[in-house]
């Protein structure tokens, strides 16, 4: 018997007592062996109440991610099937890049409980405190050319928003172009794509996913509080991180398969349906300067088609979306 067998049995009957006798019968081991595994689960941070004549009852789970809890929830074929779970790292992007250079397969995932130098887009840092969020990087080796990688950014945003909606249906999640997920105008997650290519041939893409799951207001620097929010702060309930990770990987893998089979068109439609950027006057800060207009939709590459104030059309491929109004 492993800890995992015992845990699934206690989880199936969460909140209820399961007698030592029943456990030893179900798992075909002695009562002493059951007791030893209970102690091991407790050492992993589970709280298990043991009451004479009633048996064992699972009363609390660790706030730390464990493979025991995560792996049984995974429904994917390749995404997350090779998985590294770290306590602390500088950035999961760096960890996964090292593995990618060693040739690991598509779908390889690195998750960390904490990042000391988590990074965001545009050279910003990413707040990644211990045990409170989902900080992870996923490896893709897509058979597409470098200029098409922005499509994967948009795909990742759709996958994340679908997964979060599945776990927390009461939250109204919108995508701000290209890939910020917002609840009530505040950012709850971010996506960072880093590619390695030779000429235009893409070698691999490291997709960094940051979801501010269970952060409290005190976890954010003061200046971010009017721009960022966690799922817990927005919904009032703690998020089951391993269920959300499994759901993100499942949605991501499904959409990625769809993308490889049918191209960007279906992803584009899904993205547009969830966007909060379209149809509103928007300021876009591009590397070539500020563009003001009304975004109408995506083009076939993943760029944002914007109607300018003089009625002309322009497509923007890289920009920071600023204030609208």
Could you list the residues that contact ligand BTN (CB under 6 A)? 91-93, 115, 118-121, 124, 126, 135-137, 180, 190-192, 208-210
Half-sphere exposure of 175 (CA within 13 A, CB side): 27
Residue 54: helix, strand or coil by DSSP?
coil
Q: Which is nearer to ligand BTN, 58 or 111 (CB)?
A: 111
- Min dist CB 67 to ligand BTN, Å, is 19
- Min dist CB 208 to ligand BTN, Å, is 3
- Min dist CB 117 to ligand BTN, Å, is 7
Cβ within 8 Å of residue 122, ≥6 positions away:
320
Q: Which is nearer to ligand BTN, 69 or 180 (CB)?
A: 180
Q: Which is nearer to ligand BTN, 34 or 110 (CB)?
A: 110
What span, in angstroms and rounded, lies between the C-alpha atoms of 308 and 18?
66
The angle at the Cα of 276, spanning 273 to 280, to the nearest 5 degrees, equals: 115
- Min dist CB 121 to ligand BTN, Å, is 4
- Min dist CB 164 to ligand BTN, Å, is 15
Q: Which is nearer to ligand BTN, 38 or 164 (CB)?
A: 164
Q: Which residue is nearest to ligand BTN (CB)?
A: 190
Note the helical H segments in the chain.
3-12, 20-27, 31-43, 67-70, 92-101, 149-167, 231-235, 241-262, 265-274
Pairing of strands 173-176, 109-115: unpaired
Q: Which is nearer to ligand BTN, 7 or 228 (CB)?
A: 228
CA torsion sign for 294, 298, 304, 307 is: negative
Cβ within 8 Å of residue 86, ≥6 positions away:
92, 95, 110, 111, 112, 113
CB neighbour class for 319 (10 Å; exposed up to 12, middle 13-18, buried from 19): buried
Q: Which is nearer to ligand BTN, 20 or 190 (CB)?
A: 190
8 pairs with which residues across the strands? none
Pairing of strands 109-115, 201-211: unpaired
What span, in angstroms and rounded, lies between the C-alpha atoms of 177 and 318?
10
Phi/psi-derived region of residue 164, left when phi > 0, alpha when psi is between -120 and 50, beta in every other case: alpha
- Min dist CB 118 to ligand BTN, Å, is 4
- Min dist CB 180 to ligand BTN, Å, is 6
Q: Which is nearer to ligand BTN, 120 or 266 (CB)?
A: 120
- Min dist CB 83 to ligand BTN, Å, is 14
Q: Which is nearer to ligand BTN, 107 or 118 (CB)?
A: 118
């Amino acid at each position: 018997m492993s800890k995992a067998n015992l845990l699934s049995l206690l989880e199936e009957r969460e909140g209820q007592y399961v007698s030592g006798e029943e456990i030893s019968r179900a798992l075909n081991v002695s009562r002493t062996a059951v007791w030893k595994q209970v102690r091991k689960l407790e050492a992993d941070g589970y709280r298990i109440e043991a009451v004479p004549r009633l048996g064992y009852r699972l009363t609390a789970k660790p706030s730390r991610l464990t493979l025991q809890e995560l792996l049984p929830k995974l429904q994917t074929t390749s995404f997350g099937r090779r998985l590294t779970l770290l306590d602390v790292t500088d950035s999961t992007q760096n960890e996964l890049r090292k593995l990618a250079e060693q040739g690991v397969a598509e779908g390889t995932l690195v998750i960390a409980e904490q990042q000391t130098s988590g990074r965001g887009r545009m050279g910003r840092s990413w707040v990644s405190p211990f045990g409170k969020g989902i900080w992870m990087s996923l490896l893709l080796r897509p058979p597409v050319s470098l200029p098409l990688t922005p499509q994967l950014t948009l795909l990742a945003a759709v996958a994340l928003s679908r997964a979060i909606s599945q776990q927390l249906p009461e939250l109204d999640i919108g995508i701000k172009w290209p890939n910020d997920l917002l609840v009530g105008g505040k950012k709850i997650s971010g996506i960072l794509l880093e590619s390695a290519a030779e000429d235009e041939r893409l070698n691999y893409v490291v997709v960094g996913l940051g979801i501010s799951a269970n952060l409290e207001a005190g976890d954010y620097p003061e200046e971010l509080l009017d721009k960022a929010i966690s799922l817990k702060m927005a919904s009032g309930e703690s998020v089951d991180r391993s269920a959300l990770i499994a759901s993100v990987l499942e949605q991501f893998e499904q959409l990625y398969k769809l993308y490889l089979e049918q191209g960007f068109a279906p992803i584009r439609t899904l993205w547009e349906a969830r966007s909060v950027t379209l149809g509103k006057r928007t300021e876009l800060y591009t590397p070539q300067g500020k563009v003001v207009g009304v975004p109408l939709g995506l083009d076939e590459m993943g760029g944002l088609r914007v109607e300018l104030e003089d009625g002309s059309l322009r497509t923007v491929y890289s920009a920071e979306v600023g204030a609208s109004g």
